[in-house]
Structure 1
Amino acid sequence: MYFPRTLYLFSFIALSFASPLATYNDARQVNTFQNPVLWEDYPDLDVFRVGDVFYYSSSTFAFSPGAPVLKSYDLINWTPVSHSVPNLNFGSKYNLNSATDRAYVKGIWASTLRYRESDDTFYWIGCVESSKTYIWTSSNAGAYNNSGEVNSWNWKAAATLNKCYYDCGLLIDSDDTMYVAYGNTNITVAQLSPDGTSEVRSQVVYKSPTYIEGSRMYKINGTYYIFATKPASAEWVLKSANPWGPYEQKVLVDSIAGPLPNAGYSHQGGIVNTKDNDWYYVAFMDSYPGGRIPVLAPLTLDSAGWPSLVKNSTGAWGYTYPLPVRTSKTVPPPTGVDTFSSPSLSHEWEWNHNPDATKWSLSSSGLTLETATITPDLFTARNTLTHRIIGPKSAGTFKLDISKMTDGDRAGAALFRDVAAYIGVHKTGSSAQLVMVNNLTLDSSWATKSTGTINATGPALADGVTTVWLRVEADITPAFSGTSATRYTTFWYSLDGSVYKQLGERFAMTNSYTFFTGYRFAVFNFATRGLGGAVTVKAFEMEKV
C-alpha cells in the first residue's frame, strides 16, 4: 500500500529528540506528538475508526463499570465516553460480597470492540475467567450518519457463549460477516451468526511454535491479518488471502527499544487508519507502578502487504512523530476538577467491584457515599471509587464533607492496588482523627494479607470541622525494567483547602506486574461497627506535579 507521507516520516525521524520524560502531550509542538500518547493505565487495547472519530477499548479486570470506551479525533488526545459493560454480569463474586467472595485480577482481560455500520451497533466481546464469552451491544448509536459521533450509548447484555474467545479480536468483513480471532499458541477464527450473538463455525487457522495471544483481526485491500503478541516483548503479523487461512507469519517488532526508559517493550495492541489511509500501530508498554500505557507509531506496508513500523534514527520506537491528524476538534484533558454535579458519574471513574447502588448518590451537594460494608478491610469494602493516575507525576485531591460519619467509620483517599496506603479520617465515638495508614496488602492469591497499620496521626478534628481536603501525590515514572529504583507516594491534608501538610512517611509503591492494573487514586467510606454513616465528596482534582 502506498503511503503519501512515508518519505516525510523517514526524513523526520532522523531529527534529534527531547528528553523522553521532559514533557507530555499537553505541551506538544504544533506539528508533532510525543509518546506516550496517554500516560494512564489503559492496557490490552483495541482501536478503530468510525468516520472522524477514533475509538479505543481497554481491560478493567474487576473494576466496574468495565471495558471503558475512549474517543479521539487525532489519535493523540483521548477521553473516556462510555463503558461497554455497565454492570459485571459474570457472577456474584463481582459484587464484592465478602473477603472470600470477590474477584480481584479476574474479570475483563483482553476483549474487543467494533462498530457495525449495517445495524448501527457497537459490539463488545470478551472471555471472562477462561470459561464463558460475554457479548454486550449498544444499538441505535447514530454514528454512521454523524461522522462517527455517537448520539447515545445504550449498552445491553446481548448473549453469553459457553466457550472462551480468549484474547479476542472482532472483524466485520466487507460483506458484513463477523469473525472473531482468538486463542493462545493455536489461533482460532470463529464466524458469528448474522446477529452476532452465536457461533456458526470455528477453525484453528495458525499453530504457533511458541506462545502468542492478544489477537486482533483486520482486512486491508482484500487481505486478512491477525496481529498477535508474543508476551511481553514482540508483536507478530499473520497474513492470508482467506479468513480461514493458511496464514503466513512475520515479526512486526521484537524487543524494540523506547520510547520511555525503565519501561517494558512496546507490544500488544492494534492498528488503525486515518481518513487519508495512513496506518498507525497503538501498543502498550509495561510501565509499572503506573500500569500499562499506550504509545503510537506510524506503519508502512510493502508491495506484498507486510507492515513495518516507522522507527527513529537509532532503530527504536520514536519518542516524537508527526501528528497523524490535523483537526480543530478537541476532547477534554485528563486533568481538571470534577464537582460531581452531573446526573451521572464521569466515565473516568470505576468502582473496585460492582457497587451497591443503594449506598451512593449524586446531587447538587456532590457524591454521597454511605457506608456499604462492615469490615476492617479496605479490600472488602464496597463502593470504593477509583480513578486512574496520570504520569509521570500527579496529585489527586478529594474534598470531603465528613459531618455525617458515625462511630467506627473509616473514610479517605487511597493509593489503591494490592500494596496500598491511604490518608483518611477514623471516627471513634464523637471524635474524628486524621490518620495515614500503610501496609495494606493482598497475597499472591489476592486474599487480604494485611488490613494496614497506622503510620502517622494528624490533629484530632474539632466538632466544628466538617470539611477536609485529602491529597495523594504519586510518582509513577516507569521503574519496571533496567532499574532498581523505587517510586514513592506522599499523603497530605488541609483544613482550609489552601495550606497542605504531609502526614506520615512517603510510601514505596510496588513495581510488580502480577496485579496487572497500575496504581489508582481512590475515595472510600466503610464501617467497622455499624452502617448508617456517610461522607460527601464535594470535588476531586487531578493535576500534574
Structure 2
Amino acid sequence: MTPAKRLNLLLLAICSVFATISLNAEKATNPFIWADVPDVAVIRVDDTYYMSSTTMHMAPGVPIMRSKDLVNWKLLGYAYDTLADNEALRLETERSAYGRGSWASSLRYHDGIFYVSTFSATSGRTHIYKTDDIEACEWEEISFEPSMHDHSLVFDDDGKVYFLFGGGNLRLTELEPDLSGIKEGGFDEVVIEHAEKVATDNAMLHAEGTQVLKKDGMYYVMNICWPQGGMRTQIVHRSKSIKGPYEGRMVLQDKGVAQGCLIDTPEGDWYAVLFQDNGAVGRSPWLVPVKWEDGWPVLGEDGKAPIVLDIEDTEDGLSNIVASDEFDRKPGAELPLAWQWNHNPVNDKWSIGERKGHLRLETLRVDDDVLHARNMLTQRTFGPISSAETKLDVSKMKDGDTAGLIALQRHFGYVGVKQEDGERSIVMVRAQEDEPEVLATIPLKKKSVFFKIECDFRDRADKAYFFYSLDGKSWNRIGEPLQMRYTLPHFMGYRFGLFNWASEQVGGQVDFDFYRIGDRLSK
C-alpha cells in the first residue's frame, strides 16, 4: 500500500470517528441537573466554570462543582464540614435546622483567591470561605454578625469590598478590606428601593436572590420576585456605579425559571444559570441563552426558557453528584462526595470498615420520630426515575430500635425493621400527612433483609414505592405508595436516607452492606 493510500485510509478513519461522535452527541436539555441544586452561583476562570449551591441543614454543606460546558458538572467538595455547633444543627429536643442551615451563596474569584460566602439564620452569622485552590476544596473561614440575607459579594475596581443584599429594599454595605466584618463608617445604604416594582405592584415575594455582575463598565443586579397569583420572575437592574442610581426591568417570566446569575463562555456566548421548582425532586438548575440589546440582557428565546439547548451533550448521568457505595473502604476513609448527613453527625457513633465492607450506625439517644434521628446518611433523589437499594444486618438491634431506608422530606415514607420484645418485623411507615402511619408489618426471622425505594418524577407524578426482599432477587412491594410533596418546612427535594433510631434505649447497631442507585422502575 502506498503512503498516499495509507494517508487516505487514516483520514477516512478519523472522519468516521468524528461522524460517529457527532451522530451520538445529543443536544443538552433543561433542567441540566434533574435533582435538587438550587440557588446557583456560577463563575468562569479561563475555560472552566465553577458553581456553588444550597444544601441548608445538610453536613457537609455548600457544594462546589466544576464544568467545562455548563451542562455536565462534577462535585469537587464542600465549603464546610459543619456550619456551626448548636441545638438546631444537633437536632436536639424539638429544635432542628430543617429548611434553614445555610442559604443562597455567592461565588467569586479575585486576585487569585476563590471566595464562597453564605449566611444563616441558624447561626446568626454571615460566613465567608476562601481558598487559592478551589479544586482541593480546602477552605479558610471568616464569619461575623449579622446574617446578611441573599447577599452578593462585590470587589469593586477602587479596591473596596461590598455586600449587596436584602429583600425588597436592596442594601449596599461596605466590608473591611480583609472581609472580617462590616466596615465602621463605611458605605451602608439602600441603593434599590422596592426592586420588585419593575415586575409587579402586588408581590407575594419581594425581590431577593441578589447576584451582581459587572460588564462593559455597567453593574447588573439579578433578582427574583413573585407576583401575587403568578410565578417566580426574573428581574434585573443596572447602573454605572455600584452605589446607583439603578434602572430596572423584568427579563424572564416563564415556567417559574428564575434566580441565578449571568455567565459568559470563552467564545463570547452568554447564558443565565437559573433554577425551577421541579416538584418533589426539588429545585433544579436551568441554562437559558442570553443576548444583549442596548446594554440589557435578553433572556430566553422569544421570551421563553428553552427545553433543548444548542449545546452538544456527549456525557451521560449525574457524574458523582449521586453514587452507589459498597462501603468497602478502610476505617477512617472519607465518604464519597455524594453523601451528606442530615444535620451534624456524631462521628464516634458511625463507622465504615469497623465491620469490613459495611456502614455501621449505632443509636446514641432516644428520639420520638425518625426526623430527629442523628447520623442519617443521605443522597439526592434524581429524575426522571431513581431508585435506591440496600442490604441491612439487624442482628444487633435493641428493643425500640427502627432502622432502614427512607424517602426523606416532611412527608416521608420508609421501609425498615422494628424490634419489639425481642421480635423483629419489617415495617412500612408513611407520613402522608403530619402524623406517620404504619401501613404494613411483616414478621422477620432472618438476620438480614434487603430494602428498595423507587421514585417516579416523570410529569410531576412524584410517587415513591417501597419494597423488601429476603434474598436480594425476588422483590415484594410493601405498604402503599407515598405521594411526595415539596414542603417549605424542609425546603429541600426528597432524599434517600439510611437511618437507625431508638425509641427506648441506646446502643443498638445495624450494618448496611451496600447502597446502590438505579434509574428504572420495577415492572
Using the size of structure 1 for normalisation, the TM-score is 0.82
Provide the rounded CA distance (Å) in 2 between the counterparts of 1:310 and 1:388: 29
The answer to whether the 8 A contact 1:372-1:383 is kept is no
What does residue 32 of structure 1 align with? 27
Question: Are the equivalent residues in 2 in contact too, given 1:136–1:158 (CA < 8 A)?
Answer: yes
Give the superposition deviation at 1:389.
Answer: 0.6
Report the Cα offset of residue 290 of structure 1: 1.5
Deviation, structure 1 residue 177: 4.1
- 1:331, CA displacement in angstroms? 7.8
1:519 is matched with: 494
Contact kept in structure 2, 1:131 and 1:163, CA below 8 Å = no
Q: Does 1:316 align with 2:304?
A: yes
CA–CA distance in structure 1, aligned partners of residues 177 and 317 of structure 2: 36
SS at match of 2:473: coil
Q: Give runs of aligned pairs for residues 107-506 of structure 1, distance below 5 A.
A: 107-118=101-112, 120=113, 122-129=114-121, 132-141=124-133, 150=135, 152-160=136-144, 162-173=145-156, 177-200=160-183, 201=186, 202-208=188-194, 209=197, 211-231=206-226, 232-254=231-253, 256-257=254-255, 265-302=256-293, 304-311=294-301, 315-323=303-311, 332=319, 334=321, 336-341=323-328, 343-363=333-353, 364-439=356-431, 442=434, 450=435, 452-462=436-446, 465=447, 467-477=448-458, 479=460, 487-506=462-481
Deviations 1:248-280 (A, max 9, x none): 1121112x14xxxxxxx1011122222223211
**Which residue identity does 2:287 align to in structure 1?**
L
Q: Is the 8 A contact 1:290 1:477 kept in 2?
A: no
Number of residues paired by the alignment? 478
- Structure-2 change in CA distance of 1:115 and 1:470 (3 Å): farther
Give the AA of the match of 1:102.
S
Distance in 2, matches of 1:506 and 1:330, equals: 26
User: Sequence identity of aligned pairs in percent?
Assistant: 31
Q: Distance in 2 between matches of 1:400 and 1:175?
A: 60
Q: 1:329 Cα deviation (Å)? A: 12
Secondary structure at 1:432 match in 2: strand
Q: How much does 1:392 deviate? A: 1.7
Distance 1:493 1:70 in 2: 35
SS of aligned partner of 1:338 = coil
The letter for the 1-side match of 2:234 is E
- Across the aligned residues of Structure 1 and Structure 2, the Cα RMSD in angstroms comes to 2.6
- Show the counterpart of 1:74: 69
Q: Which amino acid aligns with 1:88?
A: L
| CA distance in 2: counterparts of 1:368 and 1:286, whole angstroms | 35
| Corresponding residue number in structure 2 for 1:16 | none
Counterpart residue identity of residue 462, structure 2: R
Shift of 1:117: 3.5
**Residue 347 of structure 1: CA displacement?**
2.3
Q: 1:526 to 1:331 in 2, by over 3 A?
A: closer
Q: Which moved further from structure 2: 177-186 or 35-44? A: 177-186
Instruction: Provide the rounded CA distance (Å) in 1 between the counterparts of 2:339 and 2:326.
Output: 13
* Deviation at residue 454 of structure 1 after TM alignment: 1.6
Deviation at 1:173, TM superposition (A): 4.0
What amino acid does structure 2 have at the position aligned with 1:369? Answer: L
- The amino acid that maps onto 1:529 is E
Residues 329, 43 of structure 1: alpha-carbon distance in 2 compared, 3 angstrom cutoff: closer
Moved over 6 A (4+): 326-331
The answer to whether the 8 A contact 1:125-1:133 is kept is no
**Alignment partner, residue 12 of structure 1:** none
Partner residue, 1:3: none
| Cα pair distance change 1:130/1:268, threshold 3 Å | farther
Q: Which amino acid aligns with 1:288?
A: G
**Alignment check: 8 A CA contact 1:475 1:487 kept:** yes
Equivalence for 2:14: none
Label 1:68 to 1:426 Cα distance change in 2 as closer, same or farther (>3 A): same
Tell me the amino acid that sits aligned with residue 198 of structure 1: G
Which residue type is aligned with residue 244 of structure 1?
A: K
**Secondary structure, aligned partner of 1:44:** coil
Q: CA 1:274–1:330 in 2, change beyond 3 Å: closer, same or farther?
A: farther
* Amino acid in the other structure paired with 2:235: W
Unaligned runs of at least 5 residues, structure 1: 1-27, 144-149, 258-264, 443-449, 480-485
Structure-2 separation of matches of 1:89 and 1:225:
33
Q: 1:91 to 1:116 in 2, by over 3 A?
A: farther
Task: Supply the distance in 1 between the matched residues of 2:224 and 2:295 (Cα, whole angstroms).
Answer: 19
Task: Give the equivalent residue in structure 1 for 2:17.
Answer: none
Q: Equivalent residue for 1:261?
A: none
Q: CA deviation at 1:185?
A: 0.9
